[in-house]
Structures are given as structure tokens and as C-alpha cells.
Amino acid sequence: MVLTALRLITGFIDACSVLKCRPPNIRNYSTSSETIKAVSSYIRDKCESIVVMAGAGLSTPSGIPDFRSPGTGLYHNLQKYNLPYPEAIFDIQYFVNNPMPFITLAQELYPGQKYRPNLAHYFVRLLHEKGKLLRMYTQNIDGLERLSGIPGDKLIEAHGTFHSASCIVCGDEHDPEIVKQTILSGKVHLCHCKGYVKPDIVFFGEQLPAKFWLHNLDTADTDLLIVLGTSLEVQPFASICDAVPRNTPRLLINRELVGSFGYRDFDNMLVGDIIESIRNLAKDIGWEEELSKLYETCEKRST
């Protein structure tokens, strides 16, 4: 308790000294080179328990489209499925009545087919290797965090995973490999109870995995929140961002300003392409070479 209080106070003073204070309730944030310098030295010298939140923008450099980017986002390219609204493809009620749109899409989405982790995934792994990663919360279902070597106890796949599968009626678990083969052949896998079986990715209308609620503890313990490539439009995931104390610095790395960023004194933002921002950040921390080496070694080994 005393230790936590001390950490909060010293964290606050550290943050104050490296990150510019701003008046509350004005949408303002530190950007670009100013941000990189302040945040990089904070990460290098002070941080011990970083929480990372990630979304589809983390995986676009790997070639996977995000959901909401105009033109390229998945939700803008679902015409062929004739859906009543784009999110229906991940809606459990819709799936019960018409599973085929999801089954068709899942054939493309199954992880481990052709997509590989990128430099930003390896940056998070490097945070872990440096002993600075408390937890990574991801909305992504592409499995690239696992493939980059971020260990299971550090990773919360908040919107589920393709690595397990269960019946949507009785909940019985099924062999994920058999379910995958059925889906890849264009069919829906049926349970012994006749219910549909689907990979355990979380649909709208379904509960998030229990592990997600660990964020209530993690947000109290973190000394920096890094948000990577998400529109922060989907709850309850987006709420993690607001659950960190107001005096904990937050860093957004995204193409545009999202969520509540800019309303707090210690909000910082790197606008633009995630890979470029990560490269610049790693360079300023002094990890550029190490990150490139990690990325090249791991990706060469696995291609």
C-alpha cells in the first residue's frame, strides 16, 4: 500500500519533470519530436510496468486490413456478404441465423496462413525482454502477438482467439484443428447438441474472457499506457484507457487522435504510420539496433 503510494507519487514527479504539464479539460497533447524525447527517456530510465493496448492498426503493416479505415477497412468491404450492417458479421445473434458470412470471412482470417508479425509487435516483445512489460491487451484475433514471442502470461487476447473453439449452445470445447478444417472447407462445424461451433473469438453480444478483467489491477500498477493502432470505439476494451490514474502518462501511436486522448495532462501522441513512429521511438530510446536484430533474427527463422 505504502509502496504503491510512493510509486504513484514518484511516478507523478517523474512524469511531471519529463512530460509537459497542461491545463485540464483542454484537448491538447504533446506530439512528435517533443513527445519522442520525453517518452523515450521515461521508458528507458523509469518504466517498469508498461501496459500496452492494441488494435487492428498494429497489424495493417503485416498486410491485414483494419476495420474502420475509410476505403481499406474490413467494414467498408463487406458488400458481397449482403449484411444488414457491417458489424453483423461478428454478431452472435446474426451468426445463429446466418453463419455463412462469418465462415467465408474466417477462411481468410485464420492465423498462421500467410501473415507475419511486424516491427511494432517486436517492439512490444522487446519491452517484455527488458522487463518493462506488465501486460499487453489486444483486440486482434490474428495471433501475431503470440507469433512474435510475447509470452502467454503477458498477453490478454480480449476479443478471443482462433486457438480454441466451442459450441455456441452448450459451450462444449471442440478440437480447434478439426473446426478449422471444417471452416476452411466452407462448412459450419456442428456440435453433438446440433449447435454451431465457432472459434472462440468474441462476437458482439458475447462475454469477454475472464482474464480481461485483470486490467482492473494492471491499470492501478502501470507507469505508462501505450495505445497502438486502435480507434478505441469498442467497449469495454476502450475503457482500459480511461481506467489508468490521471497522473499516469499515456502514449497514443496512431494515424489520428482517438478516444479520450488529449483530455489529460500527461497525454502524448505520435501521429502517423505506426512503423515509422516505433522506429523513431526505438531510436531515441537507444534500442534501434537491438529491435532490428530481434525482428530480423525471428522473422528469418520463421519464414
| Min dist. Cβ of residue 253 to ligand OAD (A) | 7
11 or 229, CB closer to ligand OAD?
A: 229
Q: 256 a known binding residue?
A: yes
CB 126 within 8 A of CB 290: yes
In the set 159, 174, 189, 215, the catalytic residue is 159
**233 labelled as ligand-binding?**
no
- DSSP 8-state symbol, 48: S
Taking the complex as a whole, the smallest distance from the CB of residue 11 to ligand OAD amounts, in Å, to: 27
Interaction site with ligand OAD (CB under 6 A)? 55-57, 60-61, 66-69, 73, 87, 90, 139, 159, 202, 204, 229-231, 233-234, 254-256, 258, 273-274
Residue nearest ligand OAD (C-beta atom): 57
What's the chain's Rg over C-alpha atoms?
20
Quick one: 102 or 287, whose CB is closer to ligand OAD? 102
CA 267 to mean position of chain CA atoms: 19
**Catalytic-residue membership of 159:** yes
The annotation status of 254 as a binding-site residue, yes or no, is: yes
Q: What is the dihedral of CA 79, 82, 87, 90, to 10 degrees?
A: -110
Which of 59, 29, 243 minimizes the C-alpha distance to 135? 243
**Residue 15 vs 135, nearer CB to ligand OAD:** 135
Residue with smaller CB distance to ligand OAD, 91 or 265: 91
Joined grid coordinates for residue 178: 478439426
How many CB atoms are located within 10 Å of the residue 178 CB?
Answer: 12
Closest distance of CB 177 from ligand OAD, Å: 22
58 assigned to a ligand binding site: yes
Using alpha carbons only, what angle is made at residue 43 by residues 219 and 143, rounded to the nearest 5 degrees?
Answer: 60
* Measured distance CA(237)–CA(138) in Å, rounded: 9
End-to-end, the C-alpha distance of the chain in Å comes to: 48
Please report, in range form, the residues annotated as the binding site.
56-60, 66-68, 139-142, 167, 170, 191, 193, 230-231, 254-256
Give catalytic residues, as residue numbers. Answer: 159
**What residue numbers does the annotated binding site for Zn(2+) cover?**
167, 170, 191, 193
